A and B are shown apart, each in its own frame.
Chain A
Amino acid sequence: MKKLLAMALAGVLMLGALSGCGGQSGSADSPSSGGNSGTKVVEVDFPTHWVGVSVNAPWFQERLAAFNEQYGDQIKINVEEIAGDQNYVDKMKVLYSSNSLPDAINTGGYNLIDSMKDQLVVLNDYIDDDFQKVGTDIAWEVNSRDGQIYGIPYTRQVIGYFYNKDLFAQAGIDKPAETWDEFFAQCDKLLAAGITPLSMDTADSGWVTSLMLGAMVGQTDSGEAFMNQNLPTDYNFPEFVDAVANIQKMFQKYTTSDAVGGAYENAASNFFMEETAIIANGPWMVSDFYDETLVEPGFADRVGTAMFPGGVMYNSGKIGFNIASKDPETLEATLTFVKFLSNEESQQRMLEITGDIPSMEGITSSEVKPLINEVIANGDAAAHCINDFQSLWYANVVDEISIQYPLLAQGKITPEQFAKALSDVAAKN
């Protein structure tokens, strides 16, 4: 009787194993069976995190459908869904160490070039003058190392800050500050009116907080140069330490009690709930200002956007598509696909659907929310253009920020010690 049970179990197991194999044969066979009579279909592997709630998901669906309509009989895109940007990067690291990166990669701005360029295709020979127009010089520069192009840009990083006009009016502030002294004076006014001035965070690299930090560093010429430098290792210089000191002041005086330990969601929520007056973030946030599961109706009309004091804006390139195809035929197909996703039409649709700023100059659209156009105009008018820390700094430095901010906020370390901690971690690379 018991033996029977055991046999039955073993039988079920075998059956399961077989059905598992069956499931596999479909996908494993397909790369080799090169399509039907005559026309050969080339397959391109493209993992993407543009799924689920990602703002880019609808854009990608639309462009993929358009691509398939045009090239579907020659090129088949094998899309792998990897939900979550961090999971995406983690998987790329494993594939890199196994020397099996997919044909096309897009991390959404995370820099894989410096750690993986030995397995990425150098693209200089495949980019003609005509195609070069999809990105400004700075956009191509961010995607290049020593003159070798490793990435194809499709979007640009333009970031200022948003403020709540109603709360500003309540505190008697008529326009955004032009210097940091004025900025802090405005913070005091807000406080006096019983309003918490700033949304801040520390988790996941403290995105909102670190944008403020970078903007303060970037207000001098040498600071601006630092904020455009790829993979800096030395943070022990006066502009940086002074900026950190101001961040310390912000944590202690001008922000919410949940800022320390909070993530982007908490910072954003405080701004949405009109509990804080200012948040630093990019234009992709604008669509949330209209989302009534997040904000009160009419909230978007109460939001304004501004340049950081000292004429500073984040205005730079962003890492685009990397390519790691191994044979010429696949490479050609991958290039066709990537070029399609970064062409003028795709960039225009991206601006319209997601609010991401195109890397190509001169793309505009009447369908865009006015606030986004204001952000772009601020970017063009800025005296100092800087790039963001997540794109530039070593991954472990970005990680270190999130565990040092709480100490800084609670006065357990000085700004000098903060700068040293980042330098020490950067030296590990």
Chain B
Amino acid sequence: MRKQPAFWRTLRFLFLGFFVLISIGPLLWIVMSSFKTNREILSSAFAPPTSFSFSGYEAALDLAPIFQFYGNSVIISVLSTLLNVIVVSMAAYVLARHKFRGSNFITLLLSVSLLIPTAALLMPIYKIMMTIGLFDTRTGLILVYAALGLPTSLFIFKSHFQSIPKELEDAAYIDGAGFFRTFFVVVFPLARSGLATGAILQFLTSWNEFMFALILTKSTKVRTLPLALNYFTSQFSFNYTAMFAALTMVILPSIIIYVLLQEQITTSMVEGSVKG
């Protein structure tokens, strides 16, 4: 690779650095605020804490059932991501590779779900979940979340399948592999980076979703983390220290989960795949 002139390298460094700053700034601010008193947060929002204590964390764990919600969030996000990736990738593959009468209509229909406003979904989905007995269950939330990410995943998977050279599949067929085998053994690994991307976005969607979690559950033992953050502010009372402590406890591990997921998915599919 040729060396670029110093000027361009400096410019690129500043450019990337600026975005690092605005991306990491909010996180640093949250972590810093979790060690300040309410008074310090409200009077000097950007000054460092004057003393260092974990009382905000104690208060946060005391006020809201954070650990319980944590477990639920992990289970629900991971399973809805798996469900979403498997179900949607199969459909996306068919829609990307095989033209048949109605295939465009199906693509359109599935894309429309991206645009239905949440406010219009709440009541019907609540009724459906009541009817099929999945109200107040993790399974209900898993299904709904897998569906919420359906259009996004569909777009991503479809475009990745389209960019896989067709000869590789044909070679598999000639070798005597069937349709299912070709998909799972040849195509799936080839599209790994696309699948990983879709999975990450799906995971984050499930991880941060608030409104359906509120409406479709009622017992503390199936609820998820985004609901916990409201325990620290009400109309006339607030505990910002505890809120930022809770935010820190939510965000830091989710970044770790995200990193692990990204590495895991990428590497687990690299091994044994056809050279791309």
Contact = CB atoms under 8 A, between A and B. Distances in A.
A52 B237 CA distance: 10
Given A3-B181, A17-B139, A91-B214, A49 B234 contact: yes
Interface in B119-134: 122-123, 126-127, 130, 133-134
B237 A53 contact: yes
Interface string B109-146: 00000000000001100110010011111111010000
Contacts of A230: none
Interface in A7-32: 9-10, 12-13, 16-17, 19-21, 23-24, 27-28
B64 A52 contact: yes
B46 interface: no
Given A52-B63, A83-B231, A285-B236, A2 B38 contact: no
B33 interface: no
B155 interface: no
A10 B86 contact: yes
Most buried by B among A9, A23, A207, A266: A23
A265 interface: yes
A295 interface: yes
Contact of B43 (A55, A98, A269, A282): A269
B126 to A, nearest CB: 5
Nearest to B220: A81
Given A28-B133, A47-B218, A23 B138 contact: yes
B168 interface: no
A352 to B, nearest CB: 17
A293 B241 contact: yes
B242 A53 contact: yes
A91 B123 CA distance: 10
Contact of B86 (A2, A6, A97): A6
Contacts of B133: 24, 28
Given A2-B185, A80-B219, A97-B123, A294 B137 contact: no
A295 B137 contact: no
B39 A20 contact: no
Given A53-B231, A97-B123, A273-B39, A27 B237 contact: no
B52 interface: no
Most buried by A among B137, B181, B188: B137
A399 interface: no
A293 B234 contact: no
Contact of A94 (B38, B123, B220): B123
Given A87-B230, A272-B39, A80 B218 contact: yes
A12 to B, nearest CB: 7
Interface string B26-70: 000000000001110011000000000000000000011000000
A84 B142 contact: no
Contacts of A192: none
Interface string B228-248: 101111111111111000000
Majority-rule SS of A interface residues: helix
Interface string B137-166: 111101000000000000000000000000
Given A17-B142, A294-B38, A54 B214 contact: no
B169 to A, nearest CB: 14
Contacts of B126: 94-95, 98
Contacts of B42: 265-266, 269, 272-273
A23 B181 contact: no
A51 to B, nearest CB: 6
B75 interface: yes
Contacts of A294: 38-39
A95 B123 CA distance: 8
B211 to A, nearest CB: 8
Nearest to A47: B218
B218 A53 contact: no
A90 interface: yes
Given A10-B86, A20-B139, A293 B39 contact: yes
B261 interface: no
B106 interface: no
A90 B237 CA distance: 20
A108 B236 CA distance: 11
Contact of B83 (A13, A21, A80, A264): A13
A3 B231 CA distance: 45
Given A17-B139, A83-B231, A87-B230, A264 B82 contact: no
Interface string B156-194: 000000000000000000000000010011001100000
Given A9-B82, A293-B241, 17 more contacts: A12-B79, A16-B139, A17-B142, A19-B138, A20-B137, A21-B137, A23-B137, A24-B222, A52-B63, A52-B64, A53-B242, A82-B214, A83-B64, A94-B122, A94-B123, A98-B123, A273-B43
Q: What 5 A-B pairs come out closest when comparing CB atoms?
A: A52-B231, A20-B139, A83-B230, A24-B137, A84-B230
25 contacts: A2-B188, A3-B181, A3-B185, A6-B86, A9-B82, A13-B79, A17-B142, A19-B138, A21-B137, A21-B139, A23-B137, A27-B218, A49-B234, A52-B234, A53-B231, A53-B242, A78-B218, A87-B214, A87-B230, A91-B215, A98-B126, A264-B235, A269-B39, A269-B42, A281-B236
